[in-house]
Amino acid sequence: MRWCYLTVAMVSLLTLCFMAHGAGGTPAPGSLPIVQLNELTDHAVSPLGQAALAINPSQWKHAETANFVYHFADNFIATPVSVEAEFYYSAIAKELERDTSHWERKSHIYIFEKPEDWKAFQKNAHLEPWTGGIQSGGDLFIVRNPRFKFKGRSLGHEVAHLVLFRFFGNGIPLWLNEGYAEDVSSRFYASFMRARNYDSKPLSSSVAPVDYMPLDTLTGAPTYPAGENQVFTFYAESQRLVRFLMGVDAHRFQAFIDDLSKGARFESALQRAFGGRFMSLDALDREFKSYATKDYVPSLQK
């Protein structure tokens, strides 16, 4: 299976670039250069962003990099977030062949550090109490606990949602949104950590045969399943389906995403992008089930 892994040199270069340059290329070694809200190149704040900034308003600082605006309390928390966010943005743009260098608008990332502040935001924004992060209308709201050194791949997952929204809008179906975010965060987080001399490999959970969802059920789901085990299966199977289709033809997979984001049904988009390989949804289902339910999955490249 062919994947887009960034080399250690590429990741290190990205890290140095975004650590050393802030808005407008201003040098700021080791940290983000802080600016006033009205000095940001994109200082429009959404209603949900206003709800965030209303939580202890005196604590918020502001900065930006090439593709994101950051709102945060402590620079030592925001700077690593900015490096990781720009890394994921660049990796996903490269993989999906999107040139966004001419885009003027930026996505905003709001970083909470204190659980009590996050709870206040959940209440103000009418979020579910279990929500640990949210992407809404091109904004990302996350919790970044300074007590934990290793943050895991949750940021990569949320940034993937943010980038998909920027590239394709809000028409992407649920399974694809979650499946691609899971896959990207697994693969690129492993690359990100290997560049820092950690032994990290991308992970992908198999689906128990008894729990396997037929593709018409998985791809037609408008909301998450009700049970915890079904939710786990939904995420794992969605990630495997993304890996499977990208392994068949990564370039056609881009057209497939674009088609789905514009409202096409799964089977219609499948025929246009992969009709030469799969004659029907049932044909894909039969081949994919074997792939999804194995712990080890072989290369799909012919």
What is the spatial distance between Cα 53 and Cα 48, in angstroms, rounded to a whole number? 9
The full length of the chain comes to 302
DSSP code at position 209: G
**Residue 65's pLDDT is what?**
95
pLDDT tens digits along 160-171: 898 899 899 989
Average pLDDT over every residue of 232-238: 93
162, amino acid identity: L
What is the spatial distance between Cα 186 and Cα 239, in angstroms, rounded to a whole number? 10
CATH class, range 8-170: alpha beta
Which residue spans of the chain are classified as CATH 3.40.30.160?
Answer: 8-170
What is the spatial distance between Cα 199 and Cα 179, in angstroms, rounded to a whole number? 24
pLDDT tens digits along 240-299: 999 999 999 999 999 999 999 999 999 999 999 998 899 899 999 999 999 999 875 544
**Residue 186's pLDDT is what?**
80
Averaged pLDDT of the chain: 82
What is the spatial distance between Cα 269 and Cα 292, in angstroms, rounded to a whole number? 21
pLDDT tens digits along 60-70: 999 999 999 99
Percent with pLDDT over 70 in the chain:
79
Full-model pTM: 0.78
Does 203 score more than 90 pLDDT? no
The lowest-confidence range among 29-33, 188-192, 215-219, 273-277 is 188-192
3: Cβ contacts below 8 Å, ≥ 6 apart:
187, 202, 246
166 close to 107: Cβ distance less than 8 angstroms: yes
Q: Which residues of 129-138 are buried (b: 16+ CB within 10 A; e: fewer)?
A: eeeebbbbee
**Residue 3's pLDDT is what?**
35
